[in-house]
Amino acid sequence: MKRLLTITALAIVLALVPARRGHTQTDVTFTKIGEEVNQKVIKVFGAGGFKGLASYGSGVLIDKEGHFLTINSHILDTRDLRIHTYDGTKHHCDVVCREPELDVALCKIKWGARQGEIEHYFDLQTAFKRPPLPTGTNVLAFNNMFQLAVRDDAMTMQRGVVASYAPLYGRIGVFDAAYRGNVYVIDAITNNPGSGGGAITTRKGELIGLIGKELRNELTNTWINYAIPLNAYTEVPDKDGKKIRVSIADMVKLKENYRPAPKRELAKNTSYHGIILVPNVVERTPPYVEEILPGSPADRATTKLKPDDLIVYVEGLPVPDINSFNNILATYGPGAEIKLEVQRGDKLTSVTVKLDKPIGTSKK
Protein backbone atom coordinates (compact mmCIF):
# COMPACT_ATOMS: atom_id res chain seq x y z
CA MET A 1 0.00 0.00 0.00
CA LYS A 2 2.79 2.31 1.02
CA ARG A 3 4.56 1.59 -2.24
CA LEU A 4 1.43 2.28 -4.22
CA LEU A 5 1.12 5.63 -2.48
CA THR A 6 4.74 6.43 -3.21
CA ILE A 7 4.24 5.59 -6.86
CA THR A 8 1.15 7.75 -7.01
CA ALA A 9 3.00 10.59 -5.35
CA LEU A 10 5.88 10.21 -7.80
CA ALA A 11 3.50 10.14 -10.72
CA ILE A 12 2.12 13.47 -9.54
CA VAL A 13 5.61 14.88 -9.17
CA LEU A 14 6.45 13.58 -12.65
CA ALA A 15 3.52 15.44 -14.11
CA LEU A 16 4.59 18.64 -12.37
CA VAL A 17 8.15 18.62 -13.59
CA PRO A 18 8.65 20.17 -17.01
CA ALA A 19 10.62 18.22 -19.57
CA ARG A 20 13.62 20.48 -19.20
CA ARG A 21 16.58 18.59 -17.84
CA GLY A 22 18.46 19.50 -14.72
CA HIS A 23 15.45 20.95 -12.98
CA THR A 24 14.62 20.00 -9.45
CA GLN A 25 11.37 20.36 -7.59
CA THR A 26 12.64 23.46 -5.87
CA ASP A 27 13.37 25.17 -9.17
CA VAL A 28 10.01 24.52 -10.76
CA THR A 29 7.61 27.24 -9.82
CA PHE A 30 4.51 28.69 -11.42
CA THR A 31 5.54 32.25 -10.69
CA LYS A 32 5.91 33.32 -14.32
CA ILE A 33 2.76 31.51 -15.52
CA GLY A 34 0.93 33.00 -12.56
CA GLU A 35 1.97 36.52 -13.47
CA GLU A 36 0.90 36.02 -17.08
CA VAL A 37 -2.50 34.52 -16.28
CA ASN A 38 -3.14 37.08 -13.56
CA GLN A 39 -3.22 39.81 -16.21
CA LYS A 40 -6.14 38.10 -17.94
CA VAL A 41 -8.29 37.32 -14.89
CA ILE A 42 -10.45 39.99 -13.26
CA LYS A 43 -12.23 40.74 -10.01
CA VAL A 44 -15.98 41.22 -10.58
CA PHE A 45 -18.16 43.29 -8.25
CA GLY A 46 -21.95 43.58 -8.35
CA ALA A 47 -25.10 42.72 -6.44
CA GLY A 48 -25.16 40.73 -3.23
CA GLY A 49 -23.76 41.30 0.20
CA PHE A 50 -26.85 40.00 2.00
CA LYS A 51 -28.13 36.57 3.10
CA GLY A 52 -24.62 35.25 2.85
CA LEU A 53 -24.48 35.96 -0.88
CA ALA A 54 -21.15 37.36 -1.95
CA SER A 55 -21.21 40.57 -3.99
CA TYR A 56 -17.92 39.67 -5.62
CA GLY A 57 -16.74 37.13 -8.11
CA SER A 58 -14.19 36.45 -10.80
CA GLY A 59 -14.04 36.55 -14.59
CA VAL A 60 -11.77 36.03 -17.58
CA LEU A 61 -11.01 38.59 -20.29
CA ILE A 62 -11.43 37.22 -23.80
CA ASP A 63 -10.77 40.04 -26.28
CA LYS A 64 -9.27 43.48 -26.68
CA GLU A 65 -12.74 45.12 -26.75
CA GLY A 66 -13.10 44.14 -23.11
CA HIS A 67 -15.51 41.20 -23.29
CA PHE A 68 -15.24 38.82 -20.39
CA LEU A 69 -16.86 35.58 -19.29
CA THR A 70 -18.09 34.91 -15.81
CA ILE A 71 -20.60 32.69 -14.06
CA ASN A 72 -24.26 33.54 -14.46
CA SER A 73 -25.07 34.54 -10.91
CA HIS A 74 -26.90 37.06 -8.74
CA ILE A 75 -23.79 39.27 -8.86
CA LEU A 76 -24.82 40.34 -12.36
CA ASP A 77 -28.26 41.49 -11.19
CA THR A 78 -27.18 45.10 -10.87
CA ARG A 79 -26.99 48.26 -12.91
CA ASP A 80 -23.52 48.91 -11.60
CA LEU A 81 -21.40 45.93 -12.55
CA ARG A 82 -17.70 46.68 -12.03
CA ILE A 83 -14.45 44.90 -12.60
CA HIS A 84 -10.89 45.50 -11.43
CA THR A 85 -8.11 44.49 -13.80
CA TYR A 86 -4.62 43.35 -12.78
CA ASP A 87 -3.20 46.90 -13.00
CA GLY A 88 -5.81 48.20 -10.58
CA THR A 89 -8.00 49.89 -13.19
CA LYS A 90 -11.68 49.90 -12.36
CA HIS A 91 -14.18 49.58 -15.22
CA HIS A 92 -17.96 49.72 -15.33
CA CYS A 93 -19.53 46.91 -17.32
CA ASP A 94 -22.69 45.63 -18.95
CA VAL A 95 -24.02 42.11 -19.24
CA VAL A 96 -24.08 41.22 -22.95
CA CYS A 97 -25.84 37.86 -22.71
CA ARG A 98 -26.50 35.15 -20.15
CA GLU A 99 -27.15 31.48 -20.66
CA PRO A 100 -28.75 29.82 -17.63
CA GLU A 101 -28.38 26.41 -19.25
CA LEU A 102 -24.61 26.82 -19.24
CA ASP A 103 -24.50 28.92 -16.09
CA VAL A 104 -22.29 31.35 -18.01
CA ALA A 105 -22.60 35.05 -18.80
CA LEU A 106 -20.79 37.25 -21.30
CA CYS A 107 -20.14 40.83 -20.19
CA LYS A 108 -18.33 43.82 -21.63
CA ILE A 109 -16.52 46.86 -20.34
CA LYS A 110 -18.41 50.15 -20.82
CA TRP A 111 -15.74 52.33 -22.31
CA GLY A 112 -17.64 55.61 -22.15
CA ALA A 113 -16.28 58.54 -24.09
CA ARG A 114 -12.79 57.14 -24.62
CA GLN A 115 -12.63 53.74 -26.27
CA GLY A 116 -9.92 51.75 -24.57
CA GLU A 117 -8.28 48.47 -25.35
CA ILE A 118 -7.48 45.40 -23.29
CA GLU A 119 -3.91 44.28 -23.70
CA HIS A 120 -3.98 40.89 -22.00
CA TYR A 121 -6.74 38.36 -22.66
CA PHE A 122 -7.25 34.65 -23.36
CA ASP A 123 -7.40 33.62 -27.00
CA LEU A 124 -10.67 31.69 -27.03
CA GLN A 125 -10.51 30.46 -30.62
CA THR A 126 -7.47 28.37 -29.65
CA ALA A 127 -9.03 27.46 -26.33
CA PHE A 128 -12.24 26.13 -27.93
CA LYS A 129 -10.20 23.67 -30.00
CA ARG A 130 -8.48 22.08 -27.01
CA PRO A 131 -9.72 18.55 -26.30
CA PRO A 132 -11.00 17.84 -22.80
CA LEU A 133 -8.24 17.29 -20.27
CA PRO A 134 -7.89 13.70 -19.14
CA THR A 135 -8.35 12.77 -15.50
CA GLY A 136 -5.15 13.27 -13.55
CA THR A 137 -4.01 16.35 -15.46
CA ASN A 138 -2.48 19.09 -13.36
CA VAL A 139 -4.32 22.38 -13.49
CA LEU A 140 -4.02 25.83 -11.97
CA ALA A 141 -6.90 27.90 -10.64
CA PHE A 142 -7.06 31.70 -10.54
CA ASN A 143 -9.87 33.40 -8.66
CA ASN A 144 -10.82 36.03 -6.12
CA MET A 145 -11.95 33.79 -3.27
CA PHE A 146 -13.11 35.64 -0.15
CA GLN A 147 -12.46 38.92 -1.98
CA LEU A 148 -8.85 38.73 -0.89
CA ALA A 149 -7.87 40.89 -3.87
CA VAL A 150 -9.03 44.35 -4.89
CA ARG A 151 -7.71 46.75 -7.52
CA ASP A 152 -4.14 45.71 -8.41
CA ASP A 153 -3.85 42.84 -5.92
CA ALA A 154 -3.04 39.53 -7.58
CA MET A 155 -5.70 36.83 -7.87
CA THR A 156 -5.48 33.75 -5.68
CA MET A 157 -3.52 31.02 -7.45
CA GLN A 158 -4.05 27.35 -6.63
CA ARG A 159 -2.91 24.06 -8.01
CA GLY A 160 -5.01 20.95 -8.44
CA VAL A 161 -5.65 17.85 -10.44
CA VAL A 162 -8.60 17.01 -12.70
CA ALA A 163 -10.31 14.35 -10.60
CA SER A 164 -12.96 13.59 -13.21
CA TYR A 165 -14.72 14.91 -16.29
CA ALA A 166 -18.37 14.05 -15.82
CA PRO A 167 -21.85 15.54 -15.88
CA LEU A 168 -23.24 17.26 -12.81
CA TYR A 169 -26.73 16.37 -14.06
CA GLY A 170 -28.38 13.49 -12.31
CA ARG A 171 -27.70 15.20 -9.06
CA ILE A 172 -30.25 17.96 -9.44
CA GLY A 173 -31.73 18.61 -6.06
CA VAL A 174 -28.61 17.20 -4.56
CA PHE A 175 -26.29 19.59 -6.32
CA ASP A 176 -28.61 22.33 -7.44
CA ALA A 177 -26.79 23.11 -10.68
CA ALA A 178 -28.40 24.64 -13.74
CA TYR A 179 -25.78 23.32 -16.14
CA ARG A 180 -26.27 19.68 -17.13
CA GLY A 181 -23.22 19.05 -19.28
CA ASN A 182 -19.79 17.76 -18.36
CA VAL A 183 -17.71 19.53 -15.76
CA TYR A 184 -14.16 19.20 -14.57
CA VAL A 185 -14.16 18.08 -10.97
CA ILE A 186 -11.02 19.47 -9.33
CA ASP A 187 -9.32 17.99 -6.28
CA ALA A 188 -8.39 21.41 -4.88
CA ILE A 189 -10.67 23.70 -2.88
CA THR A 190 -11.31 26.07 -5.77
CA ASN A 191 -15.01 26.85 -5.27
CA ASN A 192 -15.20 29.37 -2.47
CA PRO A 193 -17.26 32.57 -2.21
CA GLY A 194 -15.94 34.83 -4.99
CA SER A 195 -14.24 32.06 -6.96
CA GLY A 196 -17.04 31.59 -9.50
CA GLY A 197 -16.02 32.75 -12.99
CA GLY A 198 -12.33 32.37 -12.26
CA ALA A 199 -9.99 30.56 -14.60
CA ILE A 200 -8.91 26.94 -14.65
CA THR A 201 -5.82 26.66 -16.82
CA THR A 202 -3.30 24.02 -17.73
CA ARG A 203 0.04 24.36 -16.03
CA LYS A 204 1.11 26.29 -19.11
CA GLY A 205 -1.57 28.87 -18.40
CA GLU A 206 -3.96 27.78 -21.19
CA LEU A 207 -7.60 28.45 -20.32
CA ILE A 208 -9.72 25.30 -20.09
CA GLY A 209 -12.70 26.29 -17.99
CA LEU A 210 -14.53 28.66 -15.69
CA ILE A 211 -14.75 27.88 -11.98
CA GLY A 212 -18.38 27.12 -11.15
CA LYS A 213 -20.63 28.32 -8.38
CA GLU A 214 -20.46 27.15 -4.82
CA LEU A 215 -22.44 23.94 -4.72
CA ARG A 216 -23.10 21.81 -1.71
CA ASN A 217 -24.38 18.29 -1.60
CA GLU A 218 -27.30 18.60 0.77
CA LEU A 219 -27.17 14.95 1.67
CA THR A 220 -23.55 14.70 2.69
CA ASN A 221 -22.97 18.38 3.47
CA THR A 222 -19.87 18.35 1.27
CA TRP A 223 -18.93 20.97 -1.29
CA ILE A 224 -17.94 20.20 -4.81
CA ASN A 225 -15.12 21.93 -6.63
CA TYR A 226 -15.78 22.01 -10.33
CA ALA A 227 -15.28 24.04 -13.46
CA ILE A 228 -17.42 24.48 -16.55
CA PRO A 229 -15.28 23.55 -19.54
CA LEU A 230 -14.78 26.23 -22.14
CA ASN A 231 -16.09 23.90 -24.82
CA ALA A 232 -19.23 23.36 -22.74
CA TYR A 233 -22.46 22.84 -24.59
CA THR A 234 -25.82 21.35 -23.80
CA GLU A 235 -28.95 20.41 -25.71
CA VAL A 236 -32.25 21.88 -24.62
CA PRO A 237 -35.63 20.78 -26.02
CA ASP A 238 -37.79 23.64 -27.30
CA LYS A 239 -41.57 23.58 -27.00
CA ASP A 240 -41.86 21.37 -30.08
CA GLY A 241 -39.42 18.89 -28.62
CA LYS A 242 -36.69 19.88 -31.09
CA LYS A 243 -33.27 19.89 -29.47
CA ILE A 244 -31.39 23.17 -29.48
CA ARG A 245 -27.68 23.12 -28.90
CA VAL A 246 -26.25 25.95 -26.79
CA SER A 247 -22.55 26.54 -26.22
CA ILE A 248 -20.12 29.08 -24.82
CA ALA A 249 -18.67 29.30 -28.33
CA ASP A 250 -22.05 30.50 -29.64
CA MET A 251 -22.36 33.09 -26.89
CA VAL A 252 -18.93 34.45 -27.67
CA LYS A 253 -19.61 34.43 -31.43
CA LEU A 254 -23.07 36.01 -31.36
CA LYS A 255 -22.56 38.33 -28.39
CA GLU A 256 -25.59 40.70 -28.09
CA ASN A 257 -27.39 38.71 -30.80
CA TYR A 258 -27.25 35.57 -28.69
CA ARG A 259 -30.65 34.33 -27.55
CA PRO A 260 -30.72 32.12 -24.47
CA ALA A 261 -32.17 28.63 -24.76
CA PRO A 262 -35.92 28.26 -24.14
CA LYS A 263 -36.85 27.64 -20.54
CA ARG A 264 -36.82 23.97 -19.76
CA GLU A 265 -40.07 22.40 -18.64
CA LEU A 266 -39.66 21.46 -15.03
CA ALA A 267 -39.39 17.75 -14.68
CA LYS A 268 -40.97 17.91 -11.24
CA ASN A 269 -44.09 15.85 -10.54
CA THR A 270 -44.27 14.48 -14.06
CA SER A 271 -44.36 10.92 -12.86
CA TYR A 272 -46.67 9.08 -10.50
CA HIS A 273 -45.74 6.52 -7.89
CA GLY A 274 -48.70 6.51 -5.51
CA ILE A 275 -46.68 6.51 -2.29
CA ILE A 276 -48.17 8.80 0.34
CA LEU A 277 -45.61 9.75 2.96
CA VAL A 278 -46.23 11.05 6.47
CA PRO A 279 -46.86 14.84 6.62
CA ASN A 280 -43.64 16.77 5.99
CA VAL A 281 -43.82 18.80 9.18
CA VAL A 282 -40.30 19.25 10.47
CA GLU A 283 -37.23 20.35 8.57
CA ARG A 284 -35.94 16.82 8.22
CA THR A 285 -38.96 14.55 8.31
CA PRO A 286 -37.87 10.94 7.69
CA PRO A 287 -39.70 9.46 4.67
CA TYR A 288 -42.08 7.07 6.44
CA VAL A 289 -44.81 5.57 4.28
CA GLU A 290 -48.31 6.61 5.39
CA GLU A 291 -50.31 4.72 2.78
CA ILE A 292 -50.19 3.33 -0.74
CA LEU A 293 -52.86 4.49 -3.18
CA PRO A 294 -54.78 1.50 -4.50
CA GLY A 295 -54.03 0.67 -8.12
CA SER A 296 -50.99 2.99 -8.18
CA PRO A 297 -47.55 1.90 -9.47
CA ALA A 298 -46.45 1.26 -5.88
CA ASP A 299 -49.48 -0.91 -5.34
CA ARG A 300 -48.69 -2.88 -8.51
CA ALA A 301 -45.10 -3.62 -7.41
CA THR A 302 -44.15 -7.26 -6.82
CA THR A 303 -42.94 -6.55 -3.31
CA LYS A 304 -45.42 -4.16 -1.78
CA LEU A 305 -44.73 -1.17 0.40
CA LYS A 306 -46.57 -1.02 3.72
CA PRO A 307 -47.47 1.83 6.05
CA ASP A 308 -44.66 2.62 8.54
CA ASP A 309 -41.97 1.45 6.08
CA LEU A 310 -39.02 3.83 6.18
CA ILE A 311 -37.50 4.57 2.77
CA VAL A 312 -33.72 4.77 3.22
CA TYR A 313 -32.30 4.58 -0.32
CA VAL A 314 -33.59 5.53 -3.75
CA GLU A 315 -31.47 4.10 -6.55
CA GLY A 316 -28.58 3.79 -4.11
CA LEU A 317 -28.79 7.39 -2.91
CA PRO A 318 -29.54 7.93 0.78
CA VAL A 319 -32.78 9.83 1.49
CA PRO A 320 -32.58 11.21 5.02
CA ASP A 321 -35.74 13.27 4.64
CA ILE A 322 -38.90 13.71 2.58
CA ASN A 323 -37.48 16.67 0.62
CA SER A 324 -34.55 14.68 -0.66
CA PHE A 325 -36.89 11.81 -1.55
CA ASN A 326 -39.06 14.18 -3.59
CA ASN A 327 -36.05 15.82 -5.22
CA ILE A 328 -34.60 12.55 -6.37
CA LEU A 329 -37.97 11.20 -7.56
CA ALA A 330 -38.46 14.42 -9.56
CA THR A 331 -35.48 13.52 -11.72
CA TYR A 332 -37.20 10.38 -13.05
CA GLY A 333 -39.82 10.46 -15.73
CA PRO A 334 -42.72 8.10 -16.45
CA GLY A 335 -41.65 4.61 -17.38
CA ALA A 336 -38.55 4.65 -15.20
CA GLU A 337 -38.08 1.73 -12.82
CA ILE A 338 -36.72 2.86 -9.50
CA LYS A 339 -35.32 0.68 -6.79
CA LEU A 340 -36.15 1.60 -3.21
CA GLU A 341 -34.56 0.17 -0.09
CA VAL A 342 -36.96 0.28 2.80
CA GLN A 343 -36.54 -0.48 6.44
CA ARG A 344 -39.36 -2.58 7.84
CA GLY A 345 -38.83 -3.42 11.49
CA ASP A 346 -35.14 -4.30 11.65
CA LYS A 347 -34.91 -5.63 8.09
CA LEU A 348 -34.03 -3.96 4.80
CA THR A 349 -36.30 -4.82 1.87
CA SER A 350 -35.94 -3.93 -1.80
CA VAL A 351 -38.94 -2.62 -3.67
CA THR A 352 -39.00 -1.80 -7.38
CA VAL A 353 -41.61 0.64 -8.62
CA LYS A 354 -42.27 1.38 -12.27
CA LEU A 355 -43.31 5.02 -12.50
CA ASP A 356 -46.42 5.99 -14.41
CA LYS A 357 -47.67 9.18 -16.03
CA PRO A 358 -49.35 11.56 -13.61
CA ILE A 359 -53.02 10.99 -13.14
CA GLY A 360 -55.13 13.21 -15.36
CA THR A 361 -52.68 13.44 -18.27
CA SER A 362 -54.00 12.09 -21.52
CA LYS A 363 -52.64 8.82 -22.76
CA LYS A 364 -51.82 9.93 -26.31
Report, in Å, the least distance between residue 33 CB and another protein: 7
139 vs 328, beta carbon nearer another protein: 139
Contact window for another protein (CB under 8 A) among 1-9, 131-139, 258-266, 348-356? 1-9
7 vs 267, beta carbon nearer another protein: 7
Judged by CB under 8 A, the number of residues near another protein is 46
User: Which helix (H) or strand (E) segment is 323 a member of?
Assistant: helix 322-329
201 vs 234, beta carbon nearer another protein: 201
Contact window for another protein (CB under 8 A) among 13-21, 60-68, 118-126, 289-297? 13-21
Does 193 sit near another protein (CB under 8 A)?
yes
Does 29 sit near another protein (CB under 8 A)?
yes
Cβ neighbors of 249 (< 8 A, separation 6 or more) are: 124, 128, 231, 233
d(CA 36, CA 94): 26
Select from 117, 125, 135, 146 the one that contacts another protein (CB under 8 A): 146
CA distances 179 to 50, 56, 71, 287, 291, Å, are 25, 21, 11, 29, 36
The contact mask relative to another protein for 212-241 (x = CB under 8 A, - = no) is: -----------x------------------
How many other CB atoms sit within 10 Å of the CB of residue 349?
15
d(CA 282, CA 297): 27
β-strand pairing of 289-292 with 207-211: unpaired
Express the helix, strand and coil content of the chain in percent, nearest 5 each: 15, 35, 50
Q: How far is CA 67 from the centre of its chain?
A: 22
Does 24 sit near another protein (CB under 8 A)?
yes
Contacts with another protein, residue ranges (CB under 8 A) = 3, 6-7, 9-11, 13-14, 17, 24-26, 28-35, 52, 87-90, 92, 145-146, 148-159, 188-190, 192-193, 223
